[in-house]
């Protein structure tokens, strides 16, 4: 390819079916395209970049490991960076998992969730309960882009085209106080959204249920909605009572994003299995992890069968080396605490936008925040999906040098417009002010276009 045609996009498929700016370089919280335009990375990609772009120590660690060995088959070898990483994860795991867990390393968040479901199934096979296979999910949830995982995801937009190919799994309503599916409010509701799990387990038979999976803060399917206080404590009690494993999907919330190492820590609950990816590498390289209590791995190991999961690139030494360096950078710069502090400031600034007529709700935890747009603030009526309001706002922020993450489907999986705002942990208060200023201007432009009342 010659220099003159290096930005030709005619041979590459992108799911949006349109041309995009071509990224040229990145530094800190900023991205630069080949035309020299600068963009503030207000969504950390898709809630990925934690430590910022262009961190030399991470790149150096990956380069050094690549010079030694970049790949070795996991059926024959392990590698030093993966062993070190597993120890680091164990030292930071939530609750009773800390120091009492083991980690399976894969490639993507979808892999981590798929492997979590496989582990739950294999655990019950190993413990003499072969009828337990169902994974209960929640509507308005997203757990990965794979047909098996889509069965317990509850993101209608992404499921619809493949519905005939998806394995059926039970679902319960989301923990979504702004649009409570039971039309109740705290505390009078007594967390009915959590208690719905026990009803569903009884309906399908506890003897058939292997696990319940949930995101502590729901990402793209709801636009950064945290579960209410007390929710996961009730879920944990139900799972214990019904002999069901609790899987925490921390693909977005893991490794400091919410101001704790893992999002589930905000509820003082220990999951049985935890799936994570994205922020653990800060986007420098693909890697994911499925973490589980020692007792679960022990049961599978003692069954005499291997763990039936994995791909060719699992436990890649270059990726593991980069992840070790990323965690060391987070530690050295106290970035988990910083995510908590900057997240509080970001949420306060975003709440100022509630005065705009089409902003219905602002929510989040740490540096994982979201905005929901509505046609009517009092009734919370959503805009018709064909207006694509969140995408129009994102287009206006892009023109002004700000990248955000548009989402749809929070209302019954069919309507609802949201933006996720989740910048790198290193963002400053001044840069947050810049972000909010651009976002406000973009919303005002879209409002002025004459959205139907």
Domain residue ranges in the chain: 3-54+334-448, 59-332
Rounded to two decimals, the pTM is 0.96
pLDDT at 163: 86
pLDDT at 453: 59
Local confidence pLDDT in tens for the 453 residues of the chain: 445 566 788 888 877 777 889 999 999 999 999 999 999 999 998 999 999 999 999 999 999 999 999 999 999 999 999 999 999 999 999 999 999 999 999 999 999 999 999 999 999 999 999 999 999 999 999 999 888 898 899 888 888 888 888 888 999 999 999 999 999 999 999 999 999 999 999 999 999 999 999 999 999 999 999 999 999 999 999 999 999 999 999 999 999 999 999 999 999 999 999 999 999 999 999 999 999 999 999 999 999 999 999 889 999 999 999 999 999 999 999 999 999 999 999 999 999 999 999 999 999 999 999 999 999 999 999 999 999 999 999 999 999 999 999 999 999 999 999 999 999 999 999 999 999 999 999 999 999 987 765
pLDDT at 1: 44
Query: What is the C-alpha to C-alpha distance for residues 205 and 210, in angstroms, rounded to an integer?
Result: 11
CATH C-level class of 59-332: alpha beta
Fold of 3-54+334-448: 3.90.1150
Sheet of 402-403, strands arranged across? 23-27, 30-33, 38-41, 402-403
Residue written as tokens 């603030």? Answer: 377
pLDDT at 452: 66
């Amino acid at each position: 390819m010659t220099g003159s045609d290096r930005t030709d996009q005619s041979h590459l498929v992108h799911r949006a079916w349109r041309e995009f700016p071509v990224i040229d370089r990145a530094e800190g919280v900023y991205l630069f395209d080949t035309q020299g335009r600068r963009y503030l990375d207000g969504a950390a990609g898709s809630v990925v970049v934690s430590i910022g772009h262009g961190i030399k120590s991470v790149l150096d660690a990956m380069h050094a490991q690549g010079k030694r060995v970049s790949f070795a088959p996991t059926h024959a070898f392990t590698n030093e960076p993966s062993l070190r990483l597993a120890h680091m994860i164990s030292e930071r795991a939530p609750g009773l998992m800390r120091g009492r867990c083991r980690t399976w390393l894969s490639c993507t968040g979808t892999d981590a969730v798929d492997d979590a479901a496989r582990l739950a199934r294999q655990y019950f096979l190993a413990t003499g309960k072969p009828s337990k296979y169902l994974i209960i999910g929640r509507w308005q949830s997203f757990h990965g882009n794979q047909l098996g995982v889509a069965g317990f995801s509850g993101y209608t937009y992404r499921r619809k085209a493949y519905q005939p190919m998806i394995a059926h799994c039970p679902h319960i309503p989301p923990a979504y106080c702004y649009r409570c599916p039971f039309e109740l409010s705290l505390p009078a509701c007594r967390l009915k959204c959590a208690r719905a799990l026990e009803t569903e387990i009884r309906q399908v038979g506890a003897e058939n249920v292997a696990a319940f999976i949930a995101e502590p803060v729901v990402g793209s399917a709801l636009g950064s909605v945290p579960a209410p206080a007390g929710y996961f404590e009730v879920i944990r009690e139900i799972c214990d009572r019904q002999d069901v494993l609790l899987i925490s999907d921390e693909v977005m919330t893991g490794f400091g994003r919410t101001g704790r190492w893992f999002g589930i820590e905000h509820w003082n609950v220990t999951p049985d299995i935890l799936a994570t990816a994205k922020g653990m590498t800060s986007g420098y390289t693909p890697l994911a992890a499925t973490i589980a209590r020692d007792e679960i791995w022990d049961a599978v190991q003692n069954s005499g069968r291997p763990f039936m999961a994995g791909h060719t690139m699992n436990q890649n030494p270059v990726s593991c080396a980069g992840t070790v360096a990323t965690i060391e950078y987070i530690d050295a710069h106290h970035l988990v605490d910083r995510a908590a502090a900057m997240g509080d400031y970001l949420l306060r600034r975003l709440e100022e936008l509630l005065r705009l007529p089409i902003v219905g709700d602002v929510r989040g935890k740490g540096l994982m925040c979201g905005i929901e747009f509505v046609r009517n603030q009092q009734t919370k009526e959503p805009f018709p999906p064909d207006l694509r309001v969140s995408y129009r706002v994102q287009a206006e922020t892009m023109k002004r040098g700000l990248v955000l993450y548009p989402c749809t489907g929070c209302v019954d999986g069919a309507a609802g417009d949201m933006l996720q705002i989740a910048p790198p942990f290193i963002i400053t208060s001044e840069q947050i002010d810049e972000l909010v200023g651009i976002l406000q201007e973009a919303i005002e432009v879209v409002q002025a276009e004459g959205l139907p009342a």
